[in-house]
Structure formats: C-alpha cells, structure tokens
C-alpha cells in the first residue's frame, strides 16, 4: 500500500470519502483522474473502493482509514498498486538550503521520470550533476567537463570533514565522550542522537560504497539503447 496525499483528492462525497483522485496511474504511467466506485466499509476502521483510471480504464484499490466519527482520517488514504513514481530522496531539504536552482532541477528530473519522460529526465540529471559539481569546486573549474569536475572533487572538497566532526564529538572532551564516563547520565534524547550519529557513519562508510558498487554493476549490465539511425539495415 502506498500513501496517497490528501492534496491529490479533487472531490469528495458527502460522507467525506474521496470521489475523484488525480495522480500518476500505475498502469499507463500517465497523470490521470480516478473516479470512485461505491465505498464499502469494513468494520469501523476502514473503507475500500476501486477507482478507475479515466485514461486506460484500469482500476486501483483505494483504502481509506476512518476517524472515530466514521469520516475519513486525514492522511489515511492508501492505494494498491502504488502509483509507481519515485519519491524524493531523504534529506532533499539540504539541497534546497544549498541551492534553490539545483533543488528545482532535481524536482524537475523527478517529475519527468514519474511521467515516463526518460530522455528528458536524464538530460536534466546531467544538468543537475554539472551544476552540483560546479557549485562544489572553485570558480576556475566550473567550465570543465563533467568527468573532469567529478575527478577534481576528491582534491578540492573536504570529503573527510564528516569523519573529523564525529571524532571530535566522541573524543574524551567531546559532547558524547564526556557522557561515556557515567552512562547513567545519558538520557533518551542523547541516546537517540548518538544512535543517529552511528547510523549516519554507517551510511557514509558502508551503505554508500555498497550501494554505489551495486549501482555500478547494474549500469555495467544494463542494455545499451541504439542511437537513432544506427539500426541494422
């Protein structure tokens, strides 16, 4: 089941259940309006209906969680199968803080991908990578090719800075290092922060290299599309 944001609901029945929902169809991959069939309540906690895509006429199962008064629960609408689009990556707010234009490029690439515009999405991704690397490097390297900019990153950007920050926090005189002297003084808030710090370090040292290796292997085995006009005669 995938969450369907309430903002996608375009109209409702008098009992507050969704009548029409506008979203990406998981079947035809087009933005479409879904029209509800009669809702069937199951107990006092949920109702279900099949909504039909107005483009391809395939149906999607929708489940609406109910509030105690029998009306729809805010943020409680789900569908199956999910509408298949990619969700924004975690931490995208940091990209917004760094550069609003780059964040908009990322959002445009994601939107195009979710509308099955594969080529246009890929061109925006290349533009995004060019802009991101240029932003991270000195001005005199902004006009380098994307390959050269990526090669320059390890030399120009302090990629070890996160490790240095963590080392200072865990040093005997650091924020967490002092607390280790008496673990009984560590409360829930600090334990949660320490756990999050460990998770971020695992992501940085283990998960990121592992997922990049997996991605590289998938790229190596992906079929190469033929250029236009290069097909066999």
pLDDT of residue 134: 92
Per-residue tokens: 16: 């507050």
pLDDT of residue 60: 93
**55 has pLDDT over 80:** yes
Q: What's the pLDDT tens digit per position in 9-32?
A: 999 999 899 999 998 888 888 888
Q: What's the pLDDT tens digit per position in 116-125?
A: 788 899 999 9
Say how many CA atoms lie within 13 Å of 22 toward its Cβ.
5
Q: CA distances (Å), 165 to each of 23, 155, 168, 171, 202, in order?
A: 43, 19, 5, 10, 15
Q: Using pLDDT thresholds of 50, 70 and 90, give the confidence band for residue 76.
A: very high
Q: Using pLDDT thresholds of 50, 70 and 90, give the confidence band for residue 233.
A: very low
The whole-angstrom separation of Cα 172 and Cα 216 is 40
Q: What's the pLDDT tens digit per position in 153-204?
A: 888 888 888 888 888 888 888 888 787 777 777 888 888 888 888 888 888 8
The predicted model gives 128-142 an average pLDDT of 91
Q: What's the pLDDT tens digit per position in 136-152?
A: 998 888 889 999 999 99
Return the ∠ at Cα 148 (arms to 109 and 220), rounded to 5°: 60
> Using an 8 Å Cβ cutoff, are 60 and 29 in contact?
no
pLDDT of residue 229: 62
pLDDT of residue 131: 93
**231 has pLDDT over 80:** no
Question: 64-68, 182-186, 209-213: lowest mean pLDDT where?
Answer: 182-186
DSSP secondary structure code for residue 50 in this structure: E
Closest CA relative to residue 33, chosen from 76, 84, 83: 83
The predicted model gives 59-80 an average pLDDT of 92
The whole-angstrom separation of Cα 2 and Cα 73 is 15
Q: What's the pLDDT tens digit per position in 90-118?
A: 888 999 999 999 999 999 998 888 877 88
Closest CA relative to residue 47, chosen from 59, 63, 71: 63
């Amino acid at each position: 089941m995938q969450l369907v944001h309430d903002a996608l609901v375009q109209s409702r029945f008098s009992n507050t259940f969704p009548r029409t929902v506008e979203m990406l169809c998981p079947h035809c991959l087009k933005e479409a309006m879904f029209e509800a069939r009669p809702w069937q309540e199951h107990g006092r906690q949920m109702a279900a209906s099949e909504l039909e895509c107005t483009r391809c006429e395939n149906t999607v199962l929708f489940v609406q969680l109910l509030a105690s008064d029998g009306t729809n629960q805010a943020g409680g609408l789900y569908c199956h199968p999910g509408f298949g689009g990619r969700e924004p990556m975690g931490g995208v707010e940091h990209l917004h803080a760094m550069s609003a234009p780059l964040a908009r490029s990322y959002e445009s690439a994601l939107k195009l991908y979710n509308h099955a515009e594969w080529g246009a999405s890929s061109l925006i991704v290349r533009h995004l990578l060019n802009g991101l690397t240029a932003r991270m490097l000195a001005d005199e390297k902004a006009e380098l090719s994307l390959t050269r900019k990526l090669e320059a990153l390890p030399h120009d950007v302090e990629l070890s800075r996160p490790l240095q920050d963590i080392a200072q926090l865990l040093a005997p005189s650091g924020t967490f290092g002092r607390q280790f002297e008496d673990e009984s003084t560590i409360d829930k808030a600090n334990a949660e922060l320490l756990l999050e710090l460990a998770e971020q370090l695992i992501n940085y040292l283990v998960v990121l290299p592992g997922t990049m290796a997996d991605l590289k292997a998938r790229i190596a085995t992906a079929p190469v599309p033929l250029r236009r006009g290069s097909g066999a005669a």
